[in-house]
């Protein structure tokens, strides 16, 4: 997580009596707030401590909804793919309408244009994976026990696993997301951190570019609240006996936060720089990179678009957000390309000469490179341009 944050009332030390102020009646009149530690990688890595009005363990009912493994398409050859995901149907609610496109053991990538805010559930929790919601279009508020967090277009919203949340979009019919679900934690690349844990100068962002919740909700309300809990392929209904957003204060390094792609400070060179300069997040089994608007290479003889390359140990995915994609033809905002291992890829014919006099690129794209092979779902294949592998012919 990017940095230490605190919000609301907290006691002066960990694990001491914490009497709620203002003579507030508390659960069973015990008079204290209930400490709730949320930890990562056992108790070894980042953690936060929340203080609830009622014990967060008060669950009234639990019921399995379904267990549904993702199915991969097995009869596709090894080839490049262009998934025209700008055309995914607007469907479902904010949690159940997500359309899986690509997946492996470490991650699932979804596209999602919700048709309505809520179906059966207003509240959702991913118990098995961290989520990155990249807001392609839209804006609104994410509510959680940590408080209210505003989000806007081109934000990465990072939600650590185990956190109950409710998305409150300004206008659900405008929302359009790329969602990455990770079995490993989402982290700042360790090479960007100094020995004190601060983001190094010269990194493509600083702590000031990350935004945590700004205002607590502290909902002091008894009565059932149903939460849809997903962990891997399993979906469970959990009925809490009171509102889970009853937190009076918290501190720590684990909380939902946003980082806007426009705040990514591009690193440029006289000649073409490789993708690691665009790295934004480090996750077990894959990386996320931001190709932000930037000055193109400025050596007088520089070829200004990428070289042909074989990514021999990675599958490479690009999600095109906006701008003119200098090295590609036939790509639109909202497109996804998958360039797997085993086949070279590079600039489309004519794009090298076309970029000769260009000084800047206004393109914005999100890339994720995975260590293990990505599988396509049926929904992805339905959006696939089957002529894309031959698009490098003159
Ligand atoms: Fe590439």
DSSP notation for 143-212? EETTEEEEEETTEEEEE-TT--BEEEES-GGG-EEEEEEESSPPB--GGGB-TTSPBPTTSS--GGGEE-
Q: Measured in angstroms, how far is the CA atom of residue 327 from the centroid of ligand 1?
A: 10
CATH of the domain at 142: 2.60.120.10
Please tell me the distance between residue 322's alpha carbon and the centre of ligand 1 in angstroms. Answer: 18
Ligand 1 centroid to residue 293 C-alpha, Å: 17
- Domain count of the fold of the chain: 2
79 assigned to some structural domain: no
- Residue 340 CA, ligand 1 centroid: distance in Å: 9
152 belongs to a structural domain: yes
Q: Are 277 and 348 in contact (CB under 8 A)?
A: no
Distance from Cα 346 to the centre of ligand 1, integer Å: 6
CA of 364 to the centre of ligand 1 (A): 15
Residue 26 within a domain = no
Range of the domain at 170: 38-72+89-261
Return the closest-CA partner of residue 133 out of 106, 163, 153, 147: 153
Taking a C-beta distance cutoff of 8 angstroms, is the pair 132, 171 a contact? no
**Position 48 in a domain:** yes
Whose structure tokens read 């605190």?
6
Ligand 1 centroid – CA 316 distance (Å): 6
Boundary-marking domain end, from 217, 235, 261: 261
How many A from CA of 369 to the centre of ligand 1?
9
Is residue 292 domain-resident?
A: yes
Predicted pLDDT at 21: 65
How far apart (Å, rounded) are the C-alpha atoms in residues 373 and 102?
A: 10
Structural domain ending residue among the three candidates 261, 278, 300? 261
Based on the domain organization, do 253 and 266 belong to the same domain? no
Spell out which residues have Cβ within 5 A of ligand 1, the ion.
316
Q: How far does residue 320's CA lie from ligand 1's centre (Å)? A: 13
Domain assignment of residue 154, yes or no: yes
CA of 366 to the centre of ligand 1 (A): 12
CA of 311 to the centre of ligand 1 (A): 7
Give the burial string for 3-42 (b: 16+ CB within 10 Å, else e). Answer: eebebbbbbeeeeeebebeeeeebbeeeeebbbbebebee
Residue 295 sits in the same domain as residue 162: no
Q: Do 166 and 315 reside in the same domain of the chain?
A: no
Boundary residue ending a domain (234, 261, 288): 261
Nearest to 340 by CA among 101, 84, 81: 81
Q: Are residues 205 and 144 in the same domain?
A: yes
Distance in Å, CA 175 to ligand 1 centroid: 28
CA distances from 59 to 47, 151, 224, 340 (A): 23, 30, 9, 45
257 within 8 A of 17, measured Cβ to Cβ = no
Distance 308 CA to ligand 1 centre (A): 8
Let me know: does 33 contact 26? Beta carbons within 8 Å.
yes
Question: What is the model's pLDDT at position 394?
Answer: 78
| Average pLDDT, consecutive stretches of 10 residues, N- to C-terminus, the chain (394 residues) | 91 91 66 91 93 95 97 91 96 98 98 98 98 98 98 98 98 98 96 96 97 96 97 98 96 98 96 94 98 95 91 94 82 96 92 90 96 97 95 90
pLDDT of residue 23: 63
Residues 112 and 245 reside in one and the same domain: yes
Spatial neighbors of 268 by CB under 8 A, at least 6 apart, are 294, 295, 296, 297, 298
Q: Are residues 206 and 339 in the same domain?
A: no
Residues 239 and 109 occupy one common structural domain? yes
Backbone torsion region of residue 223, taken as left when φ is above 0, otherwise alpha when ψ lies between -120 and 50, otherwise beta = left
pLDDT number for residue 28: 67
Give distance in angstroms: CA of 309 to centre of ligand 1: 6
Which residues, 6 or more positions from 82, have their beta carbon under 8 angstroms from its beta carbon? 330, 331, 335, 336, 337, 384, 385, 388, 391
Asked if 280 and 214 sit in the same domain, the reply is no
pTM over 0.95: yes
Ligand 1 centroid–CA 84 distance in Å is: 18
Residue 5 belongs to some domain of the structure? no
Q: Which residues fall within 8 angstroms of residue 245, CB to CB, at 6 or more apart?
A: 143, 144, 145, 164, 217, 218, 219
Q: Is residue 281 part of a domain?
A: yes
CA 237 to chain centre: 23
Q: Provide CB contacts within 8 A for 321, sequence distance 6+.
A: 136, 154, 261, 333, 364, 365, 366
My answer on whether 257 and 281 are in the same domain is: no
Same domain, 97 and 200: yes
Quote the ligand 1 centre to 258 CA distance (angstroms): 26
Distance between Cα 325 and ligand 1 center (Å): 13
Residues 97 and 232 in one domain: yes
C-alpha 339 – ligand 1 centre gap (Å) = 7
| Burial group, residue 71, by CB count within 10 angstroms (0-12, 13-18, 19+) | exposed
The Cα diameter of the chain in Å comes to: 77
Whether residue 51 sits in one domain with residue 187 = yes
């Amino acid at each position: 997580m990017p940095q230490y944050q605190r919000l609301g009332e907290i006691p002066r030390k960990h694990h001491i009596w914490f009497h709620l102020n203002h003579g507030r009646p508390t659960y069973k009149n015990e008079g204290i707030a209930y400490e709730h530690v949320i930890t990562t990688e056992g108790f070894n890595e980042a953690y936060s401590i929340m203080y609830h009005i009622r014990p967060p363990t008060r669950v009234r009912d639990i019921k399995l909804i379904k267990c549904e493994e993702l199915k991969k398409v097995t009869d596709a050859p090894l080839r490049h793919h262009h998934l025209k995901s700008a055309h995914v149907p607007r469907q479902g609610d904010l949690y159940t309408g997500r359309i899986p496109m690509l997946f492996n053991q470490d991650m699932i990538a979804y596209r999602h244009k919700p048709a309505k805010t809520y179906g059966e559930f207003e509240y959702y929790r991913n118990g098995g994976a961290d989520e990155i919601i990249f807001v392609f279009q839209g804006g609104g508020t994410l509510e959680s026990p940590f408080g209210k967090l505003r989000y806007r277009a081109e934000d990465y919203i990072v939600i650590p696993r185990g956190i109950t949340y409710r998305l409150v979009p300004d206008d659900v019919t405008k929302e359009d997301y790329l969602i990455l679900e990770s079995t490993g934690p989402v982290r700042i690349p360790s090479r960007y951190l100094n020995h004190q844990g601060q983001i190094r100068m010269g990194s493509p962002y600083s702590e000031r570019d990350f935004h945590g919740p700004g205002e607590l909700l502290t909902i002091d309300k008894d009565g059932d609240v149903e939460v849809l809990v997903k962990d891997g392929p399993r979906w469970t209904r959990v009925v809490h006996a009171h509102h889970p957003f009853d937190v009076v204060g918290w501190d720590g390094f684990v909380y939902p936060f946003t980082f806007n792609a426009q705040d990514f400070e591009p690193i440029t060179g006289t000649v073409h720089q490789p993708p690691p300069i665009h790295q934004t997040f480090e996750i077990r089994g894959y990386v996320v990179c931001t190709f932000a608007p930037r000055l193109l290479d400025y050596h007088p003889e520089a070829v200004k678009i990428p070289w042909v390359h074989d990514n021999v140990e990675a599958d490479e995915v690009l999600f095109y957000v906006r701008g003119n994609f200098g090295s590609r033809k036939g790509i639109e905002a909202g497109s996804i390309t998958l360039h797997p291992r085993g086949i070279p890829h590079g600039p489309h014919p004519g794009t090298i000469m076309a970029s000769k006099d260009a000084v800047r690129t206004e393109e914005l794209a999100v890339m994720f490179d995975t260590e293990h092979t990505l599988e396509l779902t049926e929904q992805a294949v339905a959006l696939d341009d089957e002529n894309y592998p031959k698009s490098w012919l003159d």
